[in-house]
């Protein structure tokens, strides 16, 4: 297994008044594959959007200087993170978590599996994080208390499922066309929104107990991918069970355990989040957007949108 070393310092991130800085890093090795990373330093935090395309398994060792809160999102692929003086954590596609990282060394085991690994992370210096959310907040009371011991740790016992809303925020960050201070303000707002969505899910769900293993986990992932590609006209549960090779009971139970919502609930999330993005950014009528996300009846779409967002689509579509 090949080993790469990466060093990361938070000294620059914490400088007050620091202007937006962006850097793109590309590494290619014909025997191993390639890594493409887009780094954004926005003063109060750092964003790293990384795409690994590997032909050989790689062990990436990362040393971090400075205490930080790290928001992890594995959008595609699978890897493990082993932090010295901390716990080992396995990640699968569409999982996220929040962790505390002191001065430490982390080992990322990246497996070559014929597909890319897409990893999105936001790094917030500890002192900045605690200006966003007080140490006494009930949203992270146990996490805040355990941080005082100085060991690397995660806020939650299990990884959580990346929701369509989270994916929408990450997409907004990736596609932002603003520049300078406007982009910096936009990114700050989106990072706070992403953190809010993580904390909201962690506090609402309780601890998840995901018992899926091996082939069943892969089939549940396949079910999610089918729904994402066909949310306008999704298959029935029976059809989805046949497509994935699972019985209906295991499909419904496994989907809820792995993704934190029902199959129809997930389709509704996909439709509503996509509709909202089009309402904000596209010159299309509400009726056209309703049709594009899978509704034949404009009124049914409006009712579903109001249930989901507690507001009417017309309030966003001026």
Domains and CATH numbers, the chain: 2-205 (2.60.120.10), 214-316 (1.10.10.60)
Q: How far is CA 195 from CA 70, 248, 290, in A?
A: 10, 34, 29
By C-alpha distance, which of 182, 214, 212 is closest to 20? 182
Backbone angles phi, psi at 44, to 5 degrees: -85, -15
- Tell me the pTM: 0.72
Confidence of residue 86 (pLDDT cuts 50, 70, 90): low
200-222, pLDDT tens digit by residue?
Answer: 988 885 544 545 666 887 888 88
133-165, pLDDT tens digit by residue?
Answer: 999 999 998 999 989 888 888 898 878 888 888
Q: CA 259, 262, 263, 269 torsion: positive or negative?
A: negative
What string of DSSP letters covers 156-184?
A: SSS-EEPPHHHHHHHHHHHH----HHHHH
Residue that has been written with the tokens 């925020």 in this structure: 169
CB 309 within 8 A of CB 164: no
254-283, pLDDT tens digit by residue?
Answer: 888 777 789 999 999 899 988 988 888 777
- Stated as kind and residue range, the H or E segment containing 98 is strand 95-101
Backbone angles phi, psi at 196, to 5 degrees: -60, -45
């Amino acid at each position: 297994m090949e080993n790469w070393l990466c060093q990361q310092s938070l000294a620059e991130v914490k400088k007050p008044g620091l202007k937006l800085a962006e850097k793109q890093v590309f590494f290619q090795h014909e025997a191993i594959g390639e890594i493409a990373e887009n780094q954004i330093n926005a003063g109060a935090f750092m964003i790293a959007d990384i795409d690994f395309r590997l032909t050989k398994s790689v062990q990436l060792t990362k040393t971090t200087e400075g205490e930080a809160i790290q928001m992890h999102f594995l959008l595609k692929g699978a890897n493990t993170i082993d932090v010295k003086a901390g716990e080992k954590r396995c990640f699968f596609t569409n999982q996220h978590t929040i962790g505390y990282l002191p001065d430490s060394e982390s080992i990322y085991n990246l497996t070559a599996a014929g597909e890319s690994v897409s990893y999105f992370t936001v790094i917030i210096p500890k002192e900045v994080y605690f200006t966003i959310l007080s140490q006494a907040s009930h949203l992270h009371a146990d996490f805040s208390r355990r941080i005082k011991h100085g060991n690397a740790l995660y806020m939650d016992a299990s990884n959580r499922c990346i929701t369509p809303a989270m994916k929408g925020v990450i997409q907004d960050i990736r596609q932002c066309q603003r520049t300078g201070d406007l982009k910096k303000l936009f990114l700050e707002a989106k990072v706070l929104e992403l953190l809010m969505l993580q904390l909201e899910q962690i506090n609402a769900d309780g601890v998840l107990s995901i018992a899926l293993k091996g082939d069943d986990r892969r089939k549940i992932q396949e079910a999610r991918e089918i729904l994402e590609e066909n949310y306008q006209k999704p298959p029935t549960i029976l059809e989805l069970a046949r497509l994935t090779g699972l019985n209906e009971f295991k499909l419904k139970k496994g989907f809820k355990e792995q993704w934190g919502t029902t199959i129809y609930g997930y389709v509704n999330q996909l439709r509503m989040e996509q509709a909202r993005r089009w309402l904000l950014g596209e010159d299309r009528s509400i009726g056209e957007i309703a049709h594009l996300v899978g509704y034949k009846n404009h009124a049914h779409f409006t009712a579903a949108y109001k249930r989901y967002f507690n507001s009417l689509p017309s309030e966003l579509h001026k």
